[in-house]
Chain A
Amino acid sequence: MADVTQLIHDYLRHNKKFPHVFCAGCGHGIVLGSLIRSVHALGLPKDDVVLVAGIGCSGRMAVYVDFNTVHTTHGRALTFATGIKMANPKLKVICVMGDGDALSIGGNHLIHAARRNIGVTALILNNHIYGMTGGQCSSATPQGDISMTTPFGSLEKAFDIADMCKAAGASYVARGTSFHAIQLDRLISTAIMHPGFSVVEVFSPCPTQYGRKNKFRNAVDMYKWLKSNTVKVETLKDPDQKPADGRIPIGVFRDVEEPGLEERYFELQRKLMGQNR
């Protein structure tokens, strides 16, 4: 444990004013820990890692880590990331977004990043709620759930992030949770090294804004729920069928090798410039 804590400290900014903004029990910090362990395990130099964050509680994590960090606008992190990756394809560009960020206001950018297969990793921290603005519903809030703007229960269906990204053309799509930390490390490491667009959705509890309104007594309850209501996709007979018992599949849903847009762009450029010589 002490080793892990030491490792995390090695990646935090020491000239940044702490404490951080996260509530006790928030899943977002666990994802940050997992990201740091993944970068460390892969041996990536800090100078080559760019963390591009949207706006939300999730987006706030960027400022704490000693990478190149860009805290962008609500919903648009992937557009900045696309510019950065195309401008300097050597960089490992990782986007951190909330569910509101990535799916509601930024849904268009998400499907286009997937379609383009740009070599960026998208971490979508799905807490099924707008955490930062005080608990309004997002396009990932489950139907029937209570939020500040659905006080009588949400009528709308939630997006299934994995299905959506697969359909849009992402070449790596996975789902993990803040409870399954060891699996999460693996999913994030694979995603970072994946050429092309990779998406890791992380179920990340928000006890403050979501849990309290939806019959979770405390944060621990939410992590227990994640444990008993998820199922490893590789144990399913038919991974394309949603489990009948309502459990949520976690693991890798798609992993195909396809060169990222930036690779194909610069290959075309080399070809064109060769011809012109």
Chain B
Amino acid sequence: MSVQRKKRKRRELFALGNEAVAEGALLAGCSFYAGYPITPSTEIMEVMANRLPLIEDGVFIQMEDEIASMGATIGASLAGRKAMTATSGPGFALMQEHIGYACMVEAPLVVVNVMRGGPSTGLPTSPAQADVQMARWGTHGDHPIIVLSASNVQECLEMTVTAFNFAEKYRTPVILLLDEVTAHTREKITVPDPDEVEILSRVEPTVPPEWFKPYADTARGVPAMAPIGSGYRTHVTGLTHDVMGYPTQRPDEVKDAMLRLFRKIDQYYGDIQMADEYMLDDAEVAVVAYGSVARSAHLAVEQARERGAKAGLLTLKTLFPFPRPAVERLTHRCHTVVVPEMNMGQMSREVKRVNNGRTKVRTINRVDGQIITPSEILKAIL
């Protein structure tokens, strides 16, 4: 008897970060893309325009603006699709009202924001990391949100898959924040065989339609989701709603709905908060970084070690919910935490909040459209 092992179909590509995002999306099962071109995110859209029409039922549509792109993406999500849009600062600003809508109706979808210099039209072709707090708080109203990031091209692919998985698992919009450097770096990557990758999809109801409560609380806090057209004729609204999805202003119902929205993310912090540790076991100085800056920091830590300094690096892959436990550990063990970022201190304020005055937090900030170099970080470590 011969056992036939299926040959893994991995593909090697020399790809841009943006192209890797598109590969990751397709791998995750994304079958709908609506968008509006904007530098430095456009390649994501262009790859999707080429690929989706060739996939059974794959839909690509260029909309009239980013408000429309988000609207169409939400519509597709409600109709059962894994859907995505991508943009940069000005477009991300236009999307905010609909990001809140997606939070409220619990529409799983992925929004990629490739950050460029701002405010306003700013520096369209230069990198920045200045939309970090906007990704967290950009839409109005209190809401939890998942914000992820990636620091190299392979990670662009992997984190896009993770973004879709989180979106589906927690029925929430997930924001993937990249910066221009990561998005426009070309590197060799491996696209895994689809069988090697864990792909999650939303849970659909199993009860008959007349029993179905579309926003009922569950142990997971995440209600089952019936796609439009599946025979469950539900009501979806951005108004605060009861478990049936109907608008309510009853304080008890409003409270239950709002607290569940928070709880469904809160209770899975352990699953959602991702960070990579490098040389941190004995570190006395720790760098906390994300995006392309984490690569400069990696080199800086290596160089510091060569010079005998006990340095380490924590790369944040989840920006929000902020990976508090991982950062907190560093503030107990290290005499200095260095936070380099291409903004005036948007993540360092989170680090300082967690640090609570315990240890020294040194910030490196650049807003001139230039990357932060390893030597700048090295100087801060030594």
**A interface residues with partner B (beta carbon < 8 Å):** 13, 15-17, 46-48, 50, 52, 62-63, 66-73, 76, 78-84, 86-88, 90-91, 108-109, 112, 265, 268-269, 272-273, 276
Q: Which residues of B contact A90 (CB under 8 A)?
A: 229
Cβ-defined contact, B236 with A79, below 8 A: no
Cβ-defined contact, A47 with B229, below 8 A: yes
Cβ-defined contact, B63 with A87, below 8 A: no
Cβ-defined contact, A83 with B83, below 8 A: yes
Bound Cα distance from A83 to B80, whole angstroms? 11
Q: Which residues of A contact B246 (CB under 8 A)?
A: 16-17, 63
- With both chains docked as a complex, state the minimum distance between the C-beta of A100 and any C-beta of chain B, in angstroms: 16
> Given the interface contacts A269-B53, A269-B58, does A79 sit within 8 Å of B75 by beta carbon?
yes
- With both chains docked as a complex, state the minimum distance between the C-beta of A166 and any C-beta of chain B, in angstroms: 19
Bound Cα distance from A79 to B76, whole angstroms? 10
A118 to chain B: closest residue by CB: B61
Cβ-defined contact, A80 with B71, below 8 A: yes
Q: Which residues of B contact A112 (CB under 8 A)?
A: 63-64, 68
Bound Cα distance from A88 to B31, whole angstroms? 12
Mask: chain B, 271-309; 1 = CB below 8 Å from A; 0 = not: 000000000000000000000000000000000000000
Bound Cα distance from A273 to B76, whole angstroms? 22
Does B244 make an interface contact (CB < 8 A)?
A: yes
Bound Cα distance from A81 to B72, whole angstroms? 7
Cβ-defined contact, B233 with A68, below 8 A: yes
Does B67 make an interface contact (CB < 8 A)?
A: yes
Cβ-defined contact, B238 with A68, below 8 A: no
B56 to chain A: closest residue by CB: A273
Bound Cα distance from A71 to B245, whole angstroms? 11
Q: Which residues of A contact B32 (CB under 8 A)?
A: 83, 86-87
Cβ-defined contact, B67 with A88, below 8 A: no
Bound Cα distance from A23 to B176, whole angstroms? 45
Cβ-defined contact, A79 with B79, below 8 A: no
B60 to chain A: closest residue by CB: A265
Q: CB within 8 A of B59: which of A47, A86, A276? A: A86
Q: Which residues of A contact B78 (CB under 8 A)?
A: 70, 80, 83-84
Q: CB within 8 A of B61: which of A82, A268, A272? A: A82
- With both chains docked as a complex, state the minimum distance between the C-beta of A123 and any C-beta of chain B, in angstroms: 17
Total number of B residues with any Cβ neighbor in A under 8 Å: 46
**B interface residues with partner A (beta carbon < 8 Å):** 32, 34, 53-54, 56-59, 61, 63-65, 67-81, 83, 97-98, 101, 227-231, 233-239, 244, 246-247
Q: Which residues of A contact B53 (CB under 8 A)?
A: 265, 268-269, 272
Q: CB within 8 A of B34: which of A46, A52, A73, A83? A: A83
Number of A-B contacts (CB under 8 A): 138
- With both chains docked as a complex, state the minimum distance between the C-beta of A274 and any C-beta of chain B, in angstroms: 11
> Given the interface contacts A71-B239, A83-B74, A276-B54, does A109 sit within 8 Å of B59 by beta carbon?
no
Cβ-defined contact, B101 with A87, below 8 A: no
- With both chains docked as a complex, state the minimum distance between the C-beta of A73 and any C-beta of chain B, in angstroms: 6
Known: A15-B244, A86-B59. 10 other contacts (CB 8 A): A66-B233, A69-B235, A70-B236, A79-B67, A80-B75, A80-B78, A81-B75, A82-B68, A83-B61, A84-B76
Bound Cα distance from A16 to B234, whole angstroms? 11
A77 to chain B: closest residue by CB: B71
Bound Cα distance from A79 to B94, whole angstroms? 14
B32 to chain A: closest residue by CB: A87
Q: Which residues of B contact A47 (CB under 8 A)?
A: 229-231, 233
B97 to chain A: closest residue by CB: A73
Bound Cα distance from A71 to B71, whole angstroms? 12
> Given the interface contacts A15-B244, A63-B247, A86-B59, does A69 sit within 8 Å of B75 by beta carbon?
no
Cβ-defined contact, A83 with B64, below 8 A: no
Bound Cα distance from A17 to B79, whole angstroms? 26
Q: CB within 8 A of B236: which of A71, A78, A88, A272? A: A71
Q: Which residues of B contact A15 (CB under 8 A)?
A: 244
B226 to chain A: closest residue by CB: A68
Q: Which residues of A contact B77 (CB under 8 A)?
A: 83
Cβ-defined contact, A50 with B228, below 8 A: yes
Bound Cα distance from A88 to B238, whole angstroms? 22
Q: CB within 8 A of B80: which of A46, A87, A272? A: A87
- With both chains docked as a complex, state the minimum distance between the C-beta of A61 and any C-beta of chain B, in angstroms: 12
Residue of B54, B70, B80, B236 with most partner-chain A CB within 10 A? B236
Q: Which residues of A contact B72 (CB under 8 A)?
A: 79-80, 82-83, 86
Q: Which residues of A contact B70 (CB under 8 A)?
A: 79
Cβ-defined contact, B228 with A68, below 8 A: yes
Cβ-defined contact, B233 with A83, below 8 A: no
Bound Cα distance from A112 to B101, whole angstroms? 22
Q: Which residues of A contact B237 (CB under 8 A)?
A: 62-63, 70-71
A86 to chain B: closest residue by CB: B59
What are 27 pairs between A and B in contact, CB < 8 Å? A16-B235, A16-B244, A16-B246, A47-B231, A52-B75, A62-B237, A63-B247, A69-B233, A69-B236, A70-B75, A70-B78, A70-B228, A73-B97, A76-B98, A80-B72, A82-B68, A83-B71, A83-B76, A86-B72, A87-B32, A87-B59, A87-B76, A88-B227, A88-B229, A269-B57, A273-B54, A276-B54
